[in-house]
Structure 1
Amino acid sequence: MYSKIIVTIIAAASVAVAQRPTDTPICDYYTTALLKNNTAENQYTLLKLLVNTAVIGNYTMPNVGVKVAGILAPGTYNGAEVNLLPYFNGELASSNRGGSSGVSVNFLDGGGAAPLMKSLPADNDQSKQ
């Protein structure tokens, strides 16, 4: 079911902006369009699907051929190689914890992409993820 939702979000995004009534909040509109019932639980589900796709990329099948790599995948921007993963997995001392230098924090210590693909925040309840 979720794969159809992600496909629909990606395929219809540009068209739906023009179709959404100006007096309907965006979350209400997309929740009703994609999950039928506009409930708090469905809005939460829609938000998880959207955020998880932005972070880890396409993880549902089928998709409509629109590749969403996700911010954790290596990529290229203006001809320069970009890899944000080290900022999230603790490879770099990039977190500001109030000291004079950055510290290493693994924000993906709860399983990384695997729990996100199951709409879970992490594999354990002690995670920073």
Structure 2
Amino acid sequence: MLTQIFFTAVLLRTAIAQRPANISVCDYYTTALLKDNTAENQATLLTLLVNTAVIGNCKTYSSRIPTVLFAQITRIKTNEHIPDTQPNTGIAVPGILAPGTYDGTQVSLAKYFNGNLASTNRGGSEGVKVNFLDGGGAVPLTKNLAADDKGSNQ
């Protein structure tokens, strides 16, 4: 665990060292990644960052998402044809909804987001099931949208 903390600190220090002190994080990375530093591009940058943290990185956000993750989020059969994803940077980022392993134990956080677990505190003394992916799950995220509709929990 100490090694992981040290490694993370080194990576964070390296990332900070690349940015001049007089330029904000948003200004620097918007210009570096999206060329023009506009309010719209800054919003796009934050959308890309959040969506990558949730569903992982994809070669194209228009149609490619991990098959197993897509099936888990949208509760479809995994044998349906969904294109496989290829990391766009050479480094795979699975996203927090992808199943993983921690200290040899299988872990899946999807149940906290897809309504399979009574995990919210909306019910007072008991947890309540809430589907935070009811606006299309991963599909709108691959299109840089928050959800397919404005009334969803997503």
Q: Unpaired runs of 5+ in structure 1?
A: 1-12
Q: What is the identity, as a one-letter code, of the residue corresponding to 1:38?
A: N
Per the normalisation by structure 2, the TM-score is: 0.71
In structure 2, distance between residues paired with 1:32 and 1:14: 20
2:111 is aligned with 1:112: no
1:96 counterpart residue number: 121
CA deviation vs aligned residue, 1:7-27 (integer Å, no higher than 9, x gap): xxxxxx886532210111111
What is the match of residue 28 of structure 1?
Answer: 27
CA deviation string 1:32-56 (max 9, x = no partner): 1111111111100000001101100
Q: How many residues align?
A: 117
Q: Secondary structure at the residue paired with 2:117?
A: coil
1:96 offset after TM fit, Å? Answer: 0.3
Deviation at 1:98, TM superposition (A): 4.7
Q: Which residue of 2 aligns with 1:81?
A: 106
Matches of 1:64 and 1:35, distance apart in 2: 15
1:97 & 1:108 partners in 2: Cα distance?
Answer: 17
RMSD: 1.7
Secondary structure, in 3 states, of the residue corresponding to 2:126?
A: coil
Q: Give the match for residue 50 of structure 1.
A: 49
| Runs of 5+ unmatched residues, structure 2 | 1-11, 61-86
Which 4+ stretches in 1 moved above 6 angstroms? none
Q: Residue 39 of structure 1 aligns with which residue?
A: 38
From the two aligned structures, give the one with the greater strand fraction. 2
